[in-house]
Amino acid sequence: MRIAAKLIFREPFKTACQVRLGVKMPPPAVKTPRDLIFWQYAKIISESAGVGKKNFRFVMNRFKKLQTGEIRWSTSIREYVKEKEKPGECIYCGTKTELVVDHLLPRSRGGPDHPDNAAFVCTRCNSSKSDKRLYEWYGIENRYNLPRIAEGKYLKLLYSLFEEKGLLNIQDVKQICEQCDLLQKCPKKTRLTVYCLEGTFTKS
């Protein structure tokens, strides 16, 4: 599994401008940033359950349960524990080498200098990611390939930051678009995509 992960990473990342028009969008039930964060996390739950991130019925079931509070996502401690299970490995590609600290949401884009926003990564991934945001770096077509620990931490961080900004429950996507610097990369305007979760965190 580790070898496959490396191969996926070492392929040239497609920019969002190269995204095909056929990119599958979140379902109509996803109306707010809170919904979108829960939708992405439901995919993580689905993958952890062994049915993959693309099992629509299972993902929708977990999404609705997250929405209603019937189930709650784990605390950030879960990601911390999982990281400790793989000491000395890059959180992105799994390489065992000299590691450095990376901010999932770059400090230059308002990311906090906090353990919930930090991960140990190899110098190659750190250099490749640079000051890009996580989904921006991977590209929308590669969003299913995001490592579980990295995406789990990132979604919980984004939830907290959106809550602080008072944007968690906003339904008018245009209000997000007005603040987003990834708008030109979105496959479909006025529809929520993962870029909506990070595009409002712009360089200061």
List the pLDDT tens digit at each of the 204 positions of the chain: 343 433 333 333 333 333 333 457 899 999 999 999 999 999 999 998 999 999 999 999 999 999 999 998 876 556 555 666 667 899 999 999 989 999 999 999 999 999 999 999 999 999 999 999 999 999 998 999 999 989 999 999 999 999 998 999 999 988 898 889 998 888 877 789 999 999 999 987
Structure tokens at 167: 């944007």
Quote the CA–CA distance of 162 and 169 in Å, as a whole number.
Answer: 9
Interstrand relation of 118-122 and 99-103 (parallel, antiparallel or unpaired): antiparallel
* HEC-encoded secondary structure of the chain: CHHHHHHHHHCCCCCHHHCCCCCCCCCCCCCCHHHHHHHHHHHHHHHHCCCCCCCHHHHHHHHHHHHHCCCCCCCHHHHHHHHHCCCCECCCCCCECCEEEEECCCHHHCCCCCHHHEEEEEHHHHHHHCCCCHHHHHCHHHHHHCCHHHHHHHHHHHHHHHHHHCCCCCCCHHHHHCCCCCHHHCCCCCCCCHHHHCCCCCCC
Q: Give the domain range for residue 141.
A: 29-197
Is residue 133 situated within a structural domain? yes
Is residue 14 situated within a structural domain? no
Is residue 19 situated within a structural domain? no
Is residue 45 situated within a structural domain? yes
Structure tokens at 133: 């945001």
CA dihedral 78→136→47→94, nearest 10 degrees, is: -70
Looking at residue 2, what is its pLDDT? 40
> How many beta carbons lie within 10 A of that of residue 84, not counting itself?
8
Looking at residue 189, what is its pLDDT? 73
- State the total domains in the chain: 1
Is residue 15 situated within a structural domain? no
Looking at residue 109, what is its pLDDT? 94
Looking at residue 20, what is its pLDDT? 37
Is residue 12 situated within a structural domain? no
Distances (CA, A) of 103 to 93, 108, 129: 16, 10, 10
Is residue 17 situated within a structural domain? no
> How many beta carbons lie within 10 A of that of residue 119, not counting itself?
25
Looking at residue 9, what is its pLDDT? 38
Is residue 8 situated within a structural domain? no
Residue with tokens 């929708």: 60
Distances (CA, A) of 150 to 57, 138, 143: 24, 12, 12
